[in-house]
C-alpha cells in the first residue's frame, strides 16, 4: 500500500537539504508526497520586513519552489508565507492551524520536519507546530514522524544534550543523490560557496558521511519522533 507523505519545511530549499533524496525515494516507490513551506524565505535580509522591496524575488522563489516540486514529482506544494526568520512574532497556534488543516484534508501517514535543536528560529517553531499537529489523538493518521537535519542550522547549534542531533534512522539515497543536487540548483540563489556548509560540496560531504555510517555511498539521517506499528 502506497504511503501518504507530508514534508513540513520552514523555508524554500530546506525540504531538499533535509530530505530531498528521501522524497525522491518515496516518489519512486509510488508514494504520494506533499510539501508545506512555512516562511517566505527572503525578507529577513532587512532590519524591517519589507514585502514590497522583495516582491520580485519572492515571486521568483515561489516559482522555484513549484518547479522543484514538479521536478521531483511531488503532488502539491503549499506556501504559508510566514515572515522569514520572524516566525517567533506569530502566535504558535496560528502556525499550527494551517498544518492541522492540511493534515485533516490529506491524512498523511508519514511526516518529516525539522530537528528541534536547530539554531534557526523558524526551524524550531516549525518543529513545535508539527509536534502539536501530529499529537497522537484517537484517529490520528500519522504513524511515522521523523526529524531531519539542515545544513547551516543543525550543525551550527551548540551541541548540548538538549540540542544535539542524534540520528537513529537512515535512508540510502545513493540512487537519488544526483537528482537531489539537480533539485537544489533550482534554489541557486540560496546556495553558497564551499566551505560554507550550504554549498553543493557541503551537501555531498554530509551525504557521504551519513552513508559511511550505514555502508552506502550516500544517505540522509533522521531522528525518530514516533513510529507506531
Host H or E run for residue 8: strand 4-9
- pLDDT beyond 90 at 130: yes
| pLDDT tens column, 20-31 | 999 999 999 999
- The string of pLDDT tens digits covering residues 98-108 is 999 999 999 99
Half-sphere exposure of 189 (CA within 13 A, CB side): 11
As a whole number, mean pLDDT of residues 135-164 equals 96
Q: Which residues contact 211 (CB under 8 A, 6 or more apart)?
A: 172, 174, 217, 218, 219
Question: Residue 183: what pLDDT?
Answer: 98
Residue 201: per-residue pLDDT:
98
Number of domains observed in the structure of the chain: 1
pLDDT of residue 216: 98
- Mean pLDDT throughout 196-218? 98
Residue 54 has pLDDT above 80, yes or no: no
Say whether pLDDT at 66 is over 90.
Answer: yes
Laid out side by side, the sheet with 169-172 consists of: 76-82, 32-39, 4-9, 110-114, 144-148, 219-227, 169-172
The pLDDT, as a whole number, for residue 3 is 98
Whole-angstrom distance, CA of residue 22 vs CA of residue 19: 5
Q: 180 and 193 in contact (C-beta within 8 Å)?
A: no
Range of 151's domain? Answer: 4-227
- Among 196, 209, 200, 155, which Cα is nearest to 180's? 200
Whose grid coordinates read 560554507? 196
Average pLDDT score over the chain: 95
pLDDT value at 42 more than 80: no
Q: What is the pTM of this model?
A: 0.96
The reported pLDDT for the residue numbered 138 is 96
pLDDT above 70 covers a percentage of the chain that reads: 99
Q: What is the pLDDT of residue 50?
A: 72
pLDDT of 123 > 90? The answer is yes
Position 147 scores a pLDDT of 98
Max CA separation in the chain (angstroms):
49
CATH number, domain with residue 106 = 3.40.50.10320
Burial 154-173 (b: 16+ CB within 10 A, else e): beebeeeeeeebebebbbbb
For 60-71, give the DSSP string. HHHHHHHHHHHH
Alpha-helical (H) ranges within 134-195 are 177-184
Residue recorded with cell 539515497: 173
Report how far residue 27's alpha carbon sits from residue 21's, in angstroms, rounded to the nearest whole number: 10
Question: What is the spatial distance between Cα 200 and Cα 17, in angstroms, rounded to a whole number?
Answer: 10
Q: What is the pLDDT of residue 150?
A: 98
Amino acid at each position: 500500500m502506497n504511503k501518504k507523505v507530508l514534508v513540513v519545511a520552514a523555508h524554500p530549499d530546506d525540504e531538499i537539504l533535509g530530505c530531498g533524496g528521501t522524497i525522491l525515494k518515496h516518489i519512486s516507490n509510488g508514494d504520494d508526497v506533499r510539501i508545506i513551506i512555512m516562511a517566505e524565505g527572503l525578507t529577513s535580509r532587512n532590519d524591517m520586513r519589507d514585502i514590497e522591496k522583495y516582491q520580485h524575488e519572492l515571486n521568483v522563489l515561489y516559482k522555484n519552489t513549484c518547479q522543484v516540486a514538479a521536478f521531483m514529482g511531488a503532488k502539491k506544494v503549499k506556501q504559508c508565507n510566514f515572515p522569514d526568520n520572524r516566525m517567533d512574532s506569530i502566535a504558535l497556534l496560528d502556525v499550527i492551524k494551517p498544518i492541522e488543516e492540511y493534515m485533516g484534508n490529506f491524512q498523511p501517514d508519514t511526516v518529516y520536519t525539522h530537528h528541534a535543536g536547530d539554531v534557526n528560529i523558524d526551524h524550531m517553531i516549525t518543529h513545535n507546530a508539527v509536534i502539536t499537529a501530529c499529537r497522537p489523538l484517537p484517529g490520528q493518521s500519522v504513524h511515522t514522524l521523523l526529524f531531519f537535519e539542515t545544513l547551516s542550522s543543525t550543525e551550527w547549534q551548540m551541541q548540548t544534550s538538549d540540542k544535539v542531533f542524534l540520528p537513529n534512522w537512515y535512508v540510502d539515497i545513493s540512487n537519488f543523490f544526483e537528482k537531489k543536487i539537480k533539485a537544489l540548483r533550482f534554489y541557486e540563489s540560496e546556495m553558497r560557496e564551499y566551505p560554507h556548509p550550504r554549498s553543493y560540496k557541503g551537501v555531498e560531504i554530509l551525504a557521504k558521511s551519513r552513508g559511511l555510517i550505514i555502508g552506502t555511498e550516500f544517505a540522509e539521517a533522521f531522528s525518530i519522533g514516533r513510529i507506531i506499528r
